[in-house]
Copies of this chain bind each other. A is one copy, B any other.
């Protein structure tokens, strides 16, 4: 048996990735020019599959960048003039806020420690409001209903961090103006690509903003958009990753997003049940409405290394708590994790003393 990664990302590769990468060699994908018609076809196909698989509405556009970190920086540069609001419930949403502060943006932090967003607290008129579909550090999820309620309350552009949420956690794309993810989480690719989706409202805002302030060079939004319309990127991109993402999307479309969401729910129930019943474990997040279904965080009696090493000996690789937290484990529930491997890890967790 080979190792199975349940780490929160990079994680277990989607089960078709190895074959796709190998086929890429046969088809010279990694040697073709990023200005060639062959590349444009790959790019267009990837965009079309993203739109189809994620049911991205008309008026939304897609650009490829290198990481979610980069996308935070580009959102701040390109969509915020003076101020923004950030709902913070973990290290990653905090980091986006910190980036805004570094950019001299008058950013407001709404801090929610292990609890749901309090919608009434959020000001209605931020230029941009940053939400997180799934906080990878704390395992806090935001459901589609909450996002809808926020949408109907505020006038802001809404940015949704979907890094470890998409496509497993559903939300209505019309409820946000921009969202983004990186490919090494639910899509099970090697790391090194960020996908940024933005709508016409973002473009309008950016086009006004770029007359007033510096919005970047090769990755300013209008440049990204202009090149994306031509199925290209401003720079030489990670061609391998765009190619493999397109192939994995095709595979996921055959499975169907509804099946992926249903299986995610089933597997997460299995794992939370296991954690709830176990005397050494307890969920870090108690409020069931916000317990993440894709990154499950559990407190544990002993230091996390104890459990990590027991499972490692069984070739099951799980994550430690984020940062310096000692008594937590994190277990990812991504589309590549079958029900069978989830039953396996739940069994093994149950047997740990």
Chain A interfacial positions (CB closer than 8 Å to B)? 2-3, 5, 7, 9-13, 17-18, 21-22, 25, 28, 30-34, 66-70, 72-73, 76, 98-99, 102-104, 182, 184, 190-193, 214, 216-219, 234-241, 317, 319
Chain copies in complex: 2
Task: Give the docked Cα–Cα distance between A3 and B72 (Å).
Answer: 40
CB distance from A224 to the nearest CB of B (A): 12
Given the interface pairs A28-B5, A214-B102, A240-B192, the reply to whether A235 lies near B12 with Cβ below 8 Å is no
Whether the pair B190, A30 counts as a contact (CB closer than 8 A) is yes
Whether the pair B18, A31 counts as a contact (CB closer than 8 A) is no
Given the interface pairs A33-B7, A73-B216, A214-B104, the reply to whether A238 lies near B28 with Cβ below 8 Å is no
Task: Give the docked Cα–Cα distance between A31 and B334 (Å).
Answer: 13
Query: Please, which residues of chain B bring their CB within 8 A of the CB of A33?
Result: 7, 10, 319
Chain B residue with Cβ nearest A189 = B30
Query: Please, which residues of chain B bring their CB within 8 A of the CB of A184?
Result: 236
Q: Which of B2, B10, B25, B99 contacts A218 (CB 8 A)?
A: B99
Whether the pair B13, A30 counts as a contact (CB closer than 8 A) is yes
Given the interface pairs A28-B3, A34-B10, A192-B192, the reply to whether A182 lies near B236 with Cβ below 8 Å is yes
**Which 8 pairs between the two chains have the least Cβ-Cβ distance?**
A192-B238, A66-B66, A69-B235, A30-B190, A67-B235, A5-B31, A99-B217, A69-B218
Query: Please, which residues of chain B bring their CB within 8 A of the CB of A102?
Result: 214, 217
Residue among A3, A10, A25, A104 with max Cβ neighbours from chain B (10 Å) = A10
Q: Which of B191, B219, B239, B317 contacts A34 (CB 8 A)?
A: B191
Task: Give the docked Cα–Cα distance between A238 and B98 (Å).
Answer: 23
Task: Give the docked Cα–Cα distance between A235 and B193 (Å).
Answer: 11
Query: Please, which residues of chain B bring their CB within 8 A of the CB of A66?
Result: 66-67, 70, 192, 235, 238
Query: Please, which residues of chain B bring their CB within 8 A of the CB of A238?
Result: 66, 190-192, 238, 241
Chain B residue with Cβ nearest A11 = B31
